[in-house]
Amino acid sequence: MEIVLIGSGSVATHLGLALQSKGIVIKQVFSRNSENARNLADKLGTTYIDDIEDLYMDADIYIYALKDSALKTVLRKMEIPNGVHVHTAGSIPMSDFEGFTSRYGVFYPLQSFSIQKTVDFSNIPICIEACEAEVQQILYDLAKLLTDKIYTVNSEQRKKLHLAAVFACNFTNYMYDIASQILDDSDIQFEIIQPLIAETAEKIKTLSPFDAQTGPAVRFDETTIARHLHMLNKTPEISKIYSILSKEIHSRHKGS
């Protein structure tokens, strides 16, 4: 099985390394940025190109791990090889491949990757979608090398999943960031709050987030809410976030 990676960011990097460790041959890396392309090719011990005209034409699978806006641009510039073409993006429909190739799909690992941090793919859900059964089987077999958590998710669902992930990951991390700013301001080490963060994430493995909700907003504790808003009066944006979230938690739990 030979694969070409189109892209050299964190998804391409982690996916490339993980697939290679399972015996898949990463034949070539493409990036318009030749330094990035070389860096990843070095990590994988393979070759790189920064001109799409030099693309290797005989791979089994081409994985496009690009910025959302770049997929169609790249496809338009390429001579499209045979082989299966998949992208790794949450918010791009599979149909973006239509008209370019007849064998395509999506291979979306639902995780937030950072270049700096190694990942254990066995714990990462991979969402697959394919234009036909034969491609579906190829993507399933590829995913199976990495994880047992394989989900068939259509483009409409994947869009929703990506949106949900913004809340569960990006906005959650921003809540941590606000907490860390508040602690910094009072010379309190961030580490003191880490067990609470870990337990909050752990809890929803056994309780629904609705049932796990605690805090002044769900208790309708107006005295504490007013005291907190007063403490935030020098940071009006954060105060506004506190107000809106408290109001929504309150109205979701009212009468429950």
Span 17-56, contacts to a copy of itself by CB under 8 A: none
Stretch that binds a copy of itself, among 12-20, 28-36, 78-86, 180-188 (CB under 8 A): 180-188
Q: Interface with a copy of itself includes 193 (CB under 8 A)? A: yes
Stretch that binds a copy of itself, among 22-30, 70-78, 95-103, 185-193 (CB under 8 A): 185-193
* Token pair recorded at residue 155: 């483009």
* Token pair recorded at residue 237: 């944006």
Q: Interface with a copy of itself includes 190 (CB under 8 A)? A: yes
User: Alpha carbon 176 to chain centroid distance?
Assistant: 18
List C-alpha distances in Å: 58 to 22, 26, 174: 20, 12, 44
Count of chain residues binding a copy of itself (CB under 8 A): 91
Among 9, 101, 149, 155, binds a copy of itself (CB under 8 A): 149
Q: Please name the residues in contact with 153: beta carbons below 8 A apart, sequence gap of 6 or more.
A: 108, 127, 128, 129, 161
Q: Interface with a copy of itself includes 161 (CB under 8 A)? A: yes
- Alpha-carbon distance of 165 to 126, in angstroms, equals 14
10, exposed or middle or buried, with CB in 10 Å at 0-12, 13-18, 19+?
middle
Closer Cβ to a copy of itself, 79 or 156, answer by number: 156
Closer Cβ to a copy of itself, 94 or 232, answer by number: 232
Least separation in angstroms between residue 109's CB and a copy of itself is: 10
